[in-house]
Amino acid sequence: MKISRATITLIDVPLLEPFVVSYATYDSMPSIILALETDDGTIGYGESVPDGHITGETPGGVVEALKTELIPAILGLDPRDITAVHQQLNRALKGCGAAKAAVDIACWDLAGKAAGRPIYALLGGRRPEQPTIAKVLSILPPGVLAEQAAQARSQGYRHLKMKLGGDDGLDIERVRAVRSAINDDLAIRVDANQGWSDPVTARAMIRALEPYRIDWVEQPILADDIDGFKLLRQDTSTCLMADESVVHAGDLARFVQDRSVDMVNLKLMKSGGITPCHRLATQAELGGLKVQIGSMLETSVASAAGFHLALSHPNIVSTELSGPMKFTKEPGNLQYVLPEVHITEGPGLGIDVDRDVLAELTVSECEISR
């Protein structure tokens, strides 16, 4: 079983409503769908959703990296030999986590299809329950958020994730309005996406949030300010989570050594796919930190990959892979029954890719073969 052909498809996936975070507003989400074909005709799918603020990559850059460097480096390899695949990827290019994630996910999909087993089985098995997701709320006016929170409660969600870090000074009002609307019926988590910048500002914001019973505060300060988390840890007992600050094993080692956070948010797009994130989850477990698997608003392809990883690792306690719920249409068919997602026993990713929808969303496409 050797990789013989790759099709790289850049698509633009329409959102139900704009997605607003501290650094950008998205009306649609660009994504790269990678189809790897082997010499026996098996096709595995992967996905890359880059973000210049997080992964340092752009959609066009990912396409170019895959086309000129990464795919040529793995043609002829057995996709089941994932260690060799990553060695070749890393020899070809440094970094490029989102681009490498597409290759990694496609290889795991191929390995699962070759074995007739779901990816989680190849990773060691799964917990029996289906994973649950949180309702993610954009940075919107407090009154709108209160309405959305009440609606989320009626839809069966158990957790809310609020994007904060807006420059209008209304972050506390947003949380106050949401907590008032839902009482204690749902848990609230907040994510500033580096939007509070420095530890002094973040400390004041975290203190102001304490009356509203927040589960945790995610990435309140700039990604490079790892020492800043130590300052925050000294002044609050609120659960702290690092996201953009954790990409590689060295980043995670600093947090384990400093004991400055309680949790880390791992993303396949940041770190290069299932394989490196599985290793990071184990490293976090050994260091006493719990793990969440986060999302870059991916389609069913990468979302399914994240769920397989989360189900297989006992130290992953939370999943925020709600991308397919936010699109008007997308090429996959991951099934959400709120607040759960149904991960099947199908081989590989366990999803189908609708080629007609993929064609409808296509911006560009290219093929590479041996």
Rounded to two decimals, what is the model's pTM? 0.95
Instruction: Determine whether 191 is an active site residue.
Output: yes
Q: Domain ranges in the chain?
A: 3-116+354-365, 121-342
Token pair 């057995």 in the structure block, residue: 78
Residue among 51, 218, 262, 330 flagged as catalytic: 218
Token pair 């790289």 in the structure block, residue: 8
Residue among 51, 243, 251, 320 flagged as catalytic: 243
Tell me the β-bridge partners of 242. 264
Q: What is the C-alpha separation between 245 and 241, in angstroms, rounded? A: 10
The enclosing H or E element of 89 equals helix 82-92
Q: What is the C-alpha separation between 145 and 139, in angstroms, rounded? A: 8
Residue 347 CB neighbours (<10 A)? 20
Residue among 37, 109, 171, 191 flagged as catalytic: 191
- pLDDT (tens, 9 = 90+) of the chain, 370 residues, equals 999 999 999 999 999 998 888 888 899 999 999 999 999 999 999 999 999 889 999 999 999 999 999 999 999 999 999 999 999 999 999 999 999 999 999 999 999 999 999 999 999 999 999 999 999 999 999 999 999 999 999 999 999 999 999 888 999 999 999 999 999 999 999 999 999 989 999 999 999 999 999 999 999 999 999 999 999 999 899 999 999 999 999 999 999 999 999 999 999 999 999 999 999 999 999 999 999 999 999 999 999 999 999 999 999 999 999 999 999 999 999 999 999 999 999 999 999 999 999 999 999 999 999 8
* CATH level 3 topology of 3-116+354-365: Enolase-like; domain 1 (3.30.390)
Q: What is the C-alpha separation between 277 and 293, in angstroms, rounded? A: 9
Crossing angle of helices 249-258 and 274-286, in 10° steps, is 20
Q: How far is CA 4 from CA 11, 41, 249, 368, in A?
A: 23, 9, 32, 9
Q: May I ask the CATH class of domain 121-342?
A: alpha beta
Instruction: Determine whether 243 is an active site residue.
Output: yes
